[in-house]
Structure 1
Amino acid sequence: MLHPARLLVLIALGLLVWGAEGSAQAPASAPTDLDAFMARALQRRDEDRKTLGDYVLDEVETLEILGPGGAPINRFKREYTWYVRDGMHVRSPLKYDGVPIPEADRRAYEERWIRSETSRRKHRTEREAARAKEGKSPDFTLRPINEPRFVSESYFLDFKFEPGNYYLAGRETLDAKEVLRIDYLPTHLFDDDHDDEYRVDEKGDRSTQHEGRDAKQQDRERQAEHEIDRKMNKTAQVTLWVDPANHQIVKYTFTNVWMDFLPAAWLVRVDDLRASMEMGQPFEGVWLPKNVNIRGSFTLANGSFEAGYRRDFSRYRKADVSSRVTVPKQESR
């Protein structure tokens, strides 16, 4: 299993390839105080994340890929709603590019979604059972097994507290609120302590894939992966905007300032990669994800390409186990 931050980069690069078929800052004067402030901000982030399972919402997903000269290669706009069925958050499609989804197609999508989530939960349960059988304690660093997918995908940067790596950049105004802008230079953002554990746990499921593979080759691949992680940690920067009144992270952005070390750099040069997540307050005192935005650009021999992917979340409401989806009717022809 890939770390969410590494997965973010691979998703962005995948979108790009699919489309083709500052100045130094001084640490804050009181780093200990800033570390304590960020510890509380990350604690608040985790508290917000736990409340997300209490809600359902509507979602708009958009993608745009532009080729050399800004020529459109691919774009779409898809609308969804989320509801709860048998204790599971289900994503249900409503419209694709403005056209309502037929009832049969909508139900088929929901069933595929449920099968996927059921399989994921089953694998997680079996893995935890295997840990218990081996005498290992439960892995409390993993997210709850029933966490809705829109929650884990919204919090794509699951960065941990790293004292000494935060720098106060100043004060700014965001959505009529005065916030602190804090730069975070991670050293462990792309480290995945569970990588080896996942390999062991999934060994039985993937034994046929690894049959006959040389152990030294697997070790070389693992070392290459760790080297990429190290270089991505070295070149990544996260900027956070935090409301000092309640330690609420209202927005964060991720930037990789240099990525020429990635495999196949001779074939494709990644010029820019940025991602952001912005929080909103649909209810008084309740902060929930407002949008996720990923943008990137790259260069091939035939020119420059750009890609943008965005998800907007709206109409948050309390989850109701008996809720049903209201599907817009198609106009008669």
Structure 2
Amino acid sequence: MKIALVGTRGIPANYSGFETCAEELGVRLVERGHQVTVYCRSHHITYAKPYYRGVRLVRLPTIPNKYLDTIAHTTLAALHTLTQDYDVVLMFIAGNSPLSFVPRLGGKKVALNVDGLDWKRRKWPPLAKKYIQFAEWLATKLPNRVITDSRQVQQYYQERFGAATTYIAYGADVLPAPPGEQMQRYGLEPQKYILFVGRLVPENCAHHLVAAFDRLKTEMRCVIVGDAPYAGDYIEKLKAMAGPRVIFTGYVYGEGYQELSSHAYVFVETSEVGGTHPALLEAMAFGNAVVVNDTRENLETIGDAGLTYDGSRGAEALAETLQELIDQPERTEAYRLRAKERVRQFFTWDAVTDEYEALFKRMLDN
């Protein structure tokens, strides 16, 4: 099959979950004999070669603006697909659904992975929230298939729109790394820091952890990995409220990310919106004990393999849960083992690729 992936920033992955999905899925599909193209935003992807790990890259410009970046690039990419002989186009993000009909004009089959309920994010003004909710409805009308990576989101589409969707989980295959340069750089020791990884935007609630950490009775440190464009004010507030044992690393990828993720005492997922959070799954795969904001989506991800805190109470509730784990290292170790086993059973990229490949074949058969 000839397959195009549209709607992400592109690969090599260096931003968020959908970029990682595009890379992990694309590379595995190529290894299975398919021809895969990933559309990349030229100002995000600096990798200059035409192929990456066997995946063809098409770089197109966009408007580098908080509200227009994604839709502008997807518009160009969707139009470009009309000049290509793809069999299947996989689009990402519900907000791109109005463009999912474009490849179909050229005879392509289109699947759309809608992600989480993006209209819940605080960053969107009221008009943008209305657009995203309208786009969710269009997602049930314009593409050939709708994909969700969360059973909770799948249930939402069924109840809200009466629409059947295909559930395909997110994957998490990781390679633990020994302590090295990253930990030395920040003076970190194994099992002596609490870790957060994610975009530093208000709805991801890193402020819960920063404030909770100040309440803990511990000599551990708190490591905040991530950044975000267009969120400078929020990030400055985070840093202003942080104590001296809170470390902000900015973006960390590759071996540095693997190293920090391999040796945390606890990983905390504070986000209050979204579907399946890739950083959470990967933290579990690395063998971390995890504590999550008690959204339905997070509860679905961890099952009985992690702990929760009451997101409505924020830092106060999170501090209580973290203190329990700090005071009970044997319990923490048990949750590490549970987390790793859960990912091994339900969230591998090979299994995810099986599901996507089977879906694409069914779409072409129909």
- TM-score normalised over the length of structure 1: 0.24
Structure holding more helix per residue: 2
TM-score of the superposed pair, with normalisation by structure 2 = 0.22
Larger radius of gyration: 1
Q: Looking at both structures, which has the greater relative contact order when contacts are Cα pairs under 8 Å and sequence separation is at least 6? A: 1
